[in-house]
Amino acid sequence: MKLHSVIVLLGTVIIVISFIIALVFIKKAKPAYFKYIFGFIVFGLLLSGNTIASNNYTWRFGLKNRIFIEQVLILFQYAMFVLFFWECLKNSVFARKIRWLLLLSTPILFGLILIVHIANVEIRPSIVPNLVLLLFCFFYLRDLMNNRPTLVIMNSSAFWLVMGIFFSSSIGFPVSSLMPFISKNQEYADLRFQIFSIQNISLIILYLFIIKSYICLKHPQSS
C-alpha cells in the first residue's frame, strides 16, 4: 500500500475517533461554537469517504464530479470554521474584519471552484480558506493577548482549536500554492502524492487538536 493511501486511512481512523468523542460529549454543557466543530467533523467524514472511494477505484461518477464534491465539502468545512471564529470573536474589535474577509473570500472561493470544474485548471481553491483562516487565527491570538489575561490556556478548548487550525492552514496554504507548479505527467505522480500527503498529515494533527479541545471540557472555562 502506498504511503498516501496509508495516511488517508489513518486520517479516517482519527476522524472517526474524533466523531465518537464528539458524541460522548454531545450532552455535556459546552460553548456554543462546538456545534460548528461537530459539523466540521461530519463533513470531514464525508470528505474522507469520498477520497477513499476514489483511491480504491470504486467511484463511478467521473473524476471531475469527485473533485467537485471534494471542493464543496471543503467549502462547508470552511464555513464551519468561519462560524466558529465568529462565535469566539463576535464581541471583539475584530468582528467587522471577519465580516469583510468573509464577504471578500466567499465569491473568490466560489469562482475558483467553478473555474476548476469547468475549465479543468490546476488551481487549489483551498488556498483561499487557508489564507483567511490564518488571518482569523491572528485575530484570535491578538484578542487573547489583549483581553484574556486570566485564561488558563492549557485548559481552553478554543485555544487548542485555533492552534490546530493555525497549524493545518500554515501547511495547507503553501502546499496548495505549490501544487499547480508540479507537472501532471505520470513521472511526477508520486511526487504530487507525497507533497499532498504532507497536507493530509497536517489535517490529522488538526483532528488531534479537536480531540484535545473536547477533553478540555473536563476543565470548564468560559472558552
Query: For the domain that residue 207 is a member of, what is the CATH number?
Result: 1.20.1070
Q: Give the pLDDT score at 84.
A: 96
Domain that holds residue 149: 3-218
In a domain, 77, yes or no: yes
Between CA 67 and CA 53 the distance in angstroms is: 12
pLDDT digits (tens, 9 = 90+) for 176-219: 877 766 666 666 667 777 777 888 899 999 999 999 999 998 87
In a domain, 223, yes or no: no
Q: Which of 10-24, 88-102, 113-127 has the highest mean pLDDT?
A: 10-24
In a domain, 121, yes or no: yes
Between CA 133 and CA 86 the distance in angstroms is: 12
Cα dihedral sign, 106-73-19-177: negative
- Which amino acid, residue 151? L
Q: Examine the pLDDT at 96 and tell me if it is beyond 80.
A: yes
In a domain, 42, yes or no: yes
Helices (H), the chain: 3-24, 34-55, 63-89, 95-119, 127-147, 157-178, 189-215
Chain Cα centroid distance, residue 176: 13
- Is the pTM higher than 0.95? no
In a domain, 168, yes or no: yes
Which residues have a Cβ under 8 Å from the Cβ of 193 and sit 6 or more positions away?
Answer: 2, 3, 4
Average per-residue pLDDT for the chain: 84
Residue 103 φ/ψ region, left for φ over 0, alpha for ψ in the -120 to 50 degree band, beta for the rest: alpha
Entry field: residues in the chain: 223
Q: Give the pLDDT score at 140.
A: 93
Total domains, the chain? 1
